[in-house]
């Protein structure tokens, strides 16, 4: 059970029964939006939730982590990196919660059926490639986050940043691999190269794709290659792609790059961001019956 101001709370029993309250008025707007997205997600079950906590002192600040490593939350910009580091390392420091069945959502009188995702089983070899690539990429991001350090506390603003004492929380959603090791021998270091897809995946030979792969600052993969790799996650869906896309936002990715490589890194991240955006649109059209 976790409580927040303005009457917000979330409680889940050991059997997966859920009761929650979204707070008075619009005081927990992002929390309410996140819960709504979960309930609308095909195959979602409350037993997928591994951890959730509401800030007991500040409205609409929270973090929720699911068993597949997907996490959502909201916090002020100043503390964004600290929240992200916590989410990325959660499964390295806590035992993974066992899957439960028979979950029941009693929040606002709505029941959620106990269903499971219907993704086809990916090829084992391709799945292994995805898992290694995702693990390596997540480790690089964690090291880069450690290198940039924790931002200045909002309780001591400076004239240069002019940070308000109570900045408005904003929504964050990022996907990470739960298999990140507790410790790593890789020292904190900013990104100096793009985490390219495994060569065994980048096999598309369409003329237009081959040409784009050969261009300077290309990620050396086309949308067909990226789709093959991401489908191997076994989690491929519109919502999962939407959260995966956030990792490659040029501004976000650029903050993790060495200054001398930042412009190139942003450009390559933008290419990956747009590819995933295109895959999202395809999934959306398929869900809408091709329209």
Question: pLDDT for 167-182, tens place per residue?
Answer: 445 555 543 333 334 4
Structure tokens at 73: 């939350």
114 and 51 part of one domain = yes
pLDDT digits over 44-79, tens only?
788 888 889 999 988 888 998 887 777 888 887 767
Residues 233 and 183 grouped into a single domain: no
Give the C-alpha separation, 219 to 268, whole Å: 6
Chain centroid offset of residue 277 CA: 15
Mean pLDDT of 118-144: 85
Q: Rounded distance, CA 21 to CA 52, Å? A: 14
Same structural domain for residues 171 and 47? Answer: yes
Least-confidence region, from 17-21, 111-115, 145-149, 242-246: 111-115
pTM, full prediction: 0.53
Asked, for residue 148, whether it belongs to a domain, the answer is: no
| In a shared domain, residues 4 and 111 | yes
Contact 74, 61 (CB under 8 A): yes
Are 175 and 216 found together in one domain? no
In a domain, 252, yes or no: yes
User: Burial level of 177, CB count in 10 A (0-12/13-18/19+)?
Assistant: buried
Last residue of a domain, one of 139, 154, 187: 187
Nearest-angstrom CA–CA distance, 264 and 260: 9
My answer on whether 10 and 120 are in the same domain is yes
Confidence of residue 283 (pLDDT cuts 50, 70, 90): very high
Domain that holds residue 124: 1-130+163-187
Specify if 39 maps to a domain. yes
β pairing state of 104-105 and 70-75: unpaired
Dist CA 209 CA 24 (whole Å): 52
- In this predicted model, which residue has the larger pLDDT, 185 or 159? 185
Q: Do 170 and 203 sit in the same domain of this protein?
A: no
Domain-embedded: residue 153: no
Structural domain total, the chain: 2
142: burial class by Cβ within 10 Å (0-12, 13-18, 19+)? buried
Task: Give the pLDDT band of residue 273 (cuts 50, 70, 90).
Answer: very high
pLDDT of 17 above 50:
yes
Last residue of a domain, one of 187, 221, 254: 187
In a domain, 136, yes or no: no
Residues 91 and 204 in one domain: no
Instruction: Give the chain's mean pLDDT.
Output: 77
**How far is residue 134's CA from residue 34's CA, in Å, rounded to a whole number?**
25
- 253 domain residue, yes or no: yes
User: Are 37 and 169 in a shared domain?
Assistant: yes
- Return the ∠ at Cα 169 (arms to 166 and 171), rounded to 5°: 170
The confidence band for 214, taking pLDDT boundaries of 50, 70 and 90, is: very high
169 and 264 fall within a common domain:
no
Tokens 């929504």 found at? 171
Q: Decide if pLDDT at 162 tops 70.
A: no
* 224 close to 204: Cβ distance less than 8 angstroms: yes
For residues 224 and 281, membership in a common domain is answered with yes
Q: Is residue 29, in this structure, part of any structural domain at all?
A: yes
86 in a domain, yes or no? Answer: yes
Assess whether 172 and 40 both reside in one domain.
yes
Q: Rounded distance, CA 185 to CA 176, Å?
A: 19
Give how far Cα 174 sits from Cα of 2, 70, 81, 121, Å: 22, 6, 12, 23
Q: How far is CA 166 from CA 47, 144, 172, in A?
A: 34, 27, 18
């Amino acid at each position: 059970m976790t409580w927040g101001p303005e009457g917000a709370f979330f409680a889940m029993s050991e059997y997966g029964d859920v009761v929650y309250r979204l707070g008075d008025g619009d005081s927990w707007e992002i929390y309410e939006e996140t819960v709504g997205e979960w309930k609308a997600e095909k195959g979602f079950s409350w037993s997928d939730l591994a951890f959730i906590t509401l800030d007991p002192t500040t409205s609409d600040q929270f973090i929720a982590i699911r068993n597949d490593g997907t996490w959502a939350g909201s916090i002020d910009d100043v503390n964004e990196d600290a929240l992200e580091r916590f989410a990325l390392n959660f499964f390295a420091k806590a035992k993974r919660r066992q899957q439960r069945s028979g979950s029941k959502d009693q929040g606002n009188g709505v029941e959620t059926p106990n269903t499971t995702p219907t993704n086809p089983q990916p090829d084992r070899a391709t799945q292994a490639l995805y898992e290694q690539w995702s693990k390596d990429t997540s480790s690089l991001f964690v090291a880069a986050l450690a290198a940039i350090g924790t931002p200045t506390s909002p309780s001591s603003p400076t004239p240069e940043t002019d940070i308000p004492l109570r900045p408005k929380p904003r929504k964050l959603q990022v996907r990470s691999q739960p298999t990140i090791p507790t410790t790593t021998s890789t020292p904190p270091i900013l990104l100096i190269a793009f985490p390219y897809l495994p060569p065994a995946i980048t096999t598309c030979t369409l003329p237009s794709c081959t040409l784009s792969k050969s261009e300077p600052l290309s990620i050396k993969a086309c949308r067909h290659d990226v789709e093959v790799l991401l489908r191997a996650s076994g989690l491929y869906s519109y919502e999962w792609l939407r959260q995966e896309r956030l990792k490659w936002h040029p501004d976000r990715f650029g903050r993790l790059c060495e200054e001398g490589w930042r412009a190139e890194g942003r450009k390559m991240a933008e290419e990956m961001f747009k590819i995933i955006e295109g895959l999202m649109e395809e999934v959306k059209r398929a869900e809408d019956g091709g329209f």
